[in-house]
Amino acid sequence: MSPRVTVRDFGPFKHVELELKPLTVIIGRNSVGKSMLSYLIWSLAATIPDLNVFTEVLGKPEVAELVERVAEDVRTGVNPESKVKELVKLCIEHLPGAIASGLAEVLRRTFMTELGELVREGAREAVIRAEGPHATIEFTLTHEGIEVTHSKPFLEFINELEVKDTFPGILRIGYGGKEIVSERVAGVSDVVDAMFNVLPYYVSTAFKTFFTSEYITALLVDSRAGISRTLLKPYLTPSLTKGIPYPDEYFIKLYYGLAEKLYKGGVKLELVNPLLEELGCGIEAVFESGVYTIYARMWSGRRLHLSKAPSGIRESLTLSLALASVSDPFIVIIEEPEAHLHPRAQRILVRLVARAVNELGKTVVLTTHSDYIVYSISNLVSLSSSPGRAKGLGYSEGEVLKPSDVAAYLIEAEEGVLPLRSWRSVRKASRTRNSLE
């Protein structure tokens, strides 16, 4: 089952259901809420549970005693499987509250407002529901804060855990034939650390896309060209970065992280090169002034720091590197990839998106109001039924999109979010509205 997001009375939306496929496309004109949905998806993905909640739980006398018994069993070579499973169950039971606490902070920072301001005008509360392959959690937002109103945990995870017999002093925990914890236990703090190592594995298995970390999920905000020109410089004065939105602050960290990956060979450059050629440049990563950064070598021979490069390069380079990174980010959310790009460059970028999905296993969410982006994706989907024709037109197998891997949604200011059942309906929507621009 693909992850799903459902909201009611959130922002401008009365009711929205989104299924997140390997490629999810949110289409609409300006000011209809595309960015709000992409920011919400990123917030759900980037939220990590508040560890203070678990610290409080594990510090309760009855739980602390259980932790001590696990530590004693491990030290003496006794297999503590039943006790470990009891501890994991306690952590899973308190996970919804920990997620809610973390999500509340991320939503405030992302939208730069209090939670009550995210409730639709005229409504008393907003509902956000995140469904993974094995678990579901639902939150209610009000002016008073956030509350978990429904939770369906993945309790089968506990049954499938295996605590392996080993040498005294070593705690080894496996799941699905894979070892997920191997911890030397000298005291209770080591048992707590082991639980903190099991929890992320549970979350990624139960929810897949949601509640991982900002390092797993990339948000490529709009105005990338402006941010790159102003903020991608080492040793910025504090006044320049004070009070900037969390997504913009994150974009800066993402850029420097991707620059380091590029420098160390962690980017599949052959995916990016066609777009760079269209933009008339090559790139090189360097280490200077204490950070990794990127220079563009222009067709004219000039070598420019990214902050001084043309707008199309500033706008598209970071998102291209995120798509072509061989490791994280595994989820890439892009606002208006068409910005500052010629139609031909937009079509090339869509081919890069397809290769990121097919060859690197990325999950991509993008918002757009560009006919060129929509038609380019539609063409790649259509070619899936004619592999011979695709090859004859110069498309590689990785540039063709399976219909089952793509979800498309059209946002209308009055009608809300409409799921598009076929790419023919995308074309029809575009024609009847005199283009999406």
CATH number for the domain including 427?
3.40.50
Q: Mean of the pLDDT values across residues 198-205?
A: 96
pLDDT band at 142 (very low <50, low <70, confident <90, very high): very high
CA-wise closest residue to 220 among 325, 145, 305: 325
**Mean pLDDT to the nearest integer, 235-260:** 79
Residue 274 neighbours by CB under 8 Å, 6+ apart: 348, 351, 352
Examine the domain organization and report whether 353 and 411 are in the same domain.
Answer: yes
Chain mean pLDDT for the chain = 92
Residue where a domain stops, chosen among 178, 207, 236: 207
pLDDT at site 348: 98
Phi-psi region of 368 (alpha: psi -120 to 50; beta: other; left: phi over 0): beta
Which stretch, 56-60, 209-213, 357-361, has highest mean pLDDT? Answer: 357-361
Residue pair 426/47 in contact (Cβ under 8 Å)? The answer is no
Alpha carbons 420 and 427: distance in angstroms, whole number: 10
Tell me if 354 sits within 8 A of 401, measured CB to CB.
yes
Peptide bond just before 329 cis, omega within 30 deg: yes
Can you tell me the distance from the alpha carbon of 208 to that of 216, in angstroms, rounded to the nearest whole number?
Answer: 11
14 belongs to a structural domain: no
Please compute the mean of the pLDDT values over residues 119-141 and round it to a whole number: 98
Q: How far apart are CA 80 and CA 84, in angstroms?
A: 6
Q: What is the largest CA-CA distance in the chain?
A: 74
Residues 102 and 155 in one domain: yes
Instruction: Give the range with max mean pLDDT: 55-59, 328-332, 386-390.
Output: 328-332
Position 280 in a domain: yes
* Domain co-membership, 103 together with 239: no
Q: In Å, how far are 188, 336, 386, 407 from 230, measured between CA atoms?
A: 48, 20, 46, 35
Reply yes or no on whether the pLDDT at 139 is more than 80: yes
How far apart, in whole angstroms, are the C-alpha atoms of residue 401 and residue 397?
Answer: 9
Judge whether 331 lies within some domain. Answer: yes
Least reliable range by pLDDT among 49-63, 68-82, 324-338, 351-365: 49-63
How confident is residue 422, by pLDDT bands cut at 50, 70 and 90? Answer: low
Domain for residue 8, yes or no?
no
Residue 10 maps to a domain = no
Strand partners, 146: 141
Of 151, 185, 207, the last residue of a domain is 207
Same domain, 27 and 111: no
Shared domain for 160 and 197, answered yes or no, is yes
Averaged pLDDT for residues 11-37: 93
Residue 313 backbone dihedrals phi, psi, to 5 degrees = -70, -45
Average pLDDT over residues 157-185: 94
Report whether pLDDT(424) > 80.
no
The token duo for 203 is 């979350």
160 and 307 together in one domain: no
220 shares its domain with 348: yes
269 versus 57: which is more confidently predicted? 269
Averaged pLDDT for residues 404-429: 70
pLDDT at 368 over 70: yes
What are the pLDDT digits (tens) for 78-93? Answer: 999 999 999 999 999 9
Q: Which pLDDT score is estimated for 432?
A: 47
Please tell me whether residues 156 and 230 are part of one structural domain: no
At 240, the pLDDT band (50, 70, 90 cuts) reads low
* Structural domain that includes position 116: 51-207
Q: 377 and 265, same structural domain?
A: yes
Same domain, 239 and 217: yes
d(CA 259, CA 252): 11
Domain boundary among 182, 207, 232: 207
Mean pLDDT of the 22-32 span: 92
Residues 184 and 239 reside in one and the same domain: no
Q: Please report whether residue 157 resides in a domain.
A: yes
pLDDT at 425: 53
Q: What is the pLDDT of residue 237?
A: 47
The more confident residue out of 412 and 14 is 14
Give residues with Cβ within 8 angstroms of 251, minimum separation 6: 219, 220, 221, 224, 227, 318
Check residue 435 and give its pLDDT. Answer: 40
Which two tokens mark 82? 């039943």
For range 301-318, the mean pLDDT: 96
Are both 381 and 399 inside the same structural domain?
yes
Distance CA 137, CA 125 (A): 16
Task: Identify which has the larger pLDDT, 324 or 32.
Answer: 324
Q: How far is Cα 227 from Cα 225, in angstroms, rounded to an integer?
A: 6
The percent of residues above 90 in pLDDT, for the chain, comes to: 82
Does some domain include residue 437? no
Based on the structure, what is the number of domains in the chain?
A: 2
Does the pTM of the predicted model rise above 0.85?
yes
pLDDT winner (highest mean) among 58-72, 131-145, 412-426 = 131-145
pLDDT for 316 equals 98
Q: Is residue 4 part of a domain?
A: no
Specify the pLDDT at position 437: 36
d(CA 390, CA 369): 26
- What six digits make up the tokens of 336? 């208006």
